[in-house]
Structure 1
């Protein structure tokens, strides 16, 4: 299958997305420090509302990004770490211990340095230095490309998950003035439901999406930063090892569809169209020859049964 070399296709790749992140960052810094900086701040304070009956959310653009889109980002990061813990290189707990320790030190060391320099006068601000900008870290790693090993990427992913989890927890415990206990209980129940759903080996995505949305809303209402909800939810989604036969089967279907995306027309005889399952590769019992034919394999979607019978 040929690569998508269009602009949109390039932006969907990790290096393209990282380059876009750098460009918009430079533009934002120039705009925020220009004589038109007031328009920059006004843009982020623009309110967007979503309503469903009596329930609704009215947040500024700044909060939609921080409390909405960043939750999706941390959810994806949590999914990647979960996959590595389940079937990847972090299955060896000794390897997983290294980024865990590094994540704890990434919180403790900056806080200790800050307290040593700031002293008692500004000691209350120690929680502001313990976070890690995961998006920029992964963006910089994507720009480097193949020069960096996959092991380093996994190490940094796990480190930042631990670091951000501790940082958000510290902010939630020490800096949240109005903590809603009932919302935290709802979020905890949603996490339990997500864990139990994963134990049932449920593959449909709709139950997971519904529970994650409830988890996000509860965390948003609780007063704790919702990014922790996305991170923990990603770690609780089950991940299982993919069998080689399944991968080869999926690759074969995509290759067949790419070569013949349309149904094969009835060439030599007429017959009623019959829906075929993409996983079925043999002719049906109605085929006289009782063997595979090129017409059946040429399209994984629909094939006239009489064409098989007419094939020698």
Structure 2
């Protein structure tokens, strides 16, 4: 009878030992729900902090861009207005001067050709005339003129213009722009972004994450903590690198654009002043031939530009 009792007892003990051996230290029933919840809470806090930082930064670069556009457009408009006003004044002055010359020398056949040439020279609509060349450079609607180039450089809708490149760099909706890369890096719903990787790693419902494996009794808590720490370190470093590069790229683009526009403004001033000087000198020299006296004028742009 004693042998019959001992044998079933040994069988029960053997089964108990086998169960202990196959159930790992981090079983589902023994999972630390407090730690699991803390990991998720920490992730959400990090996500909120980084997302908020991104939104603030986007607002800042948008404001900076708008300030840039307003400032440089005003500078261009001021230059254009000054030149157009000068053209109007000279048109009136030279027209009156031509009429006076005609009254004095119109009957002098030796001056007929020079007077006819003078009339063409002062005509802003006569193609190739000195005043036409000056007026053309100041016409923003005349392709490749000084003011056309200047105006297009400030047009954010003109493909590959200086301002277009700047506007695209800060546009989070423009594929592969610096702002796009930043916005997607912090977006937990964007495929394979650092933030999405962290979100999945922090979830007990994402298959294969350290938290999932731990909560389902596949690995121990210590192992889960180690694996999660590796993922957290890798993805936060990855995110920080993307953010830093995006910000640097945007800062560089903003600086380069301003520098390019400053140089373009200076070049525009030089060309317009030169065309004006050439036009007035040519007209003045011809006037000397007609009546012995030339025109007088002062620089229009160079003094104010310096």
Q: TM-score, normalised by structure 2?
A: 0.19
Structure with greater Cα Rg: 2
Q: Which has the higher contact order (CA 8 A, sep 6+)?
A: 2
Q: TM-score, normalised by structure 1?
A: 0.19
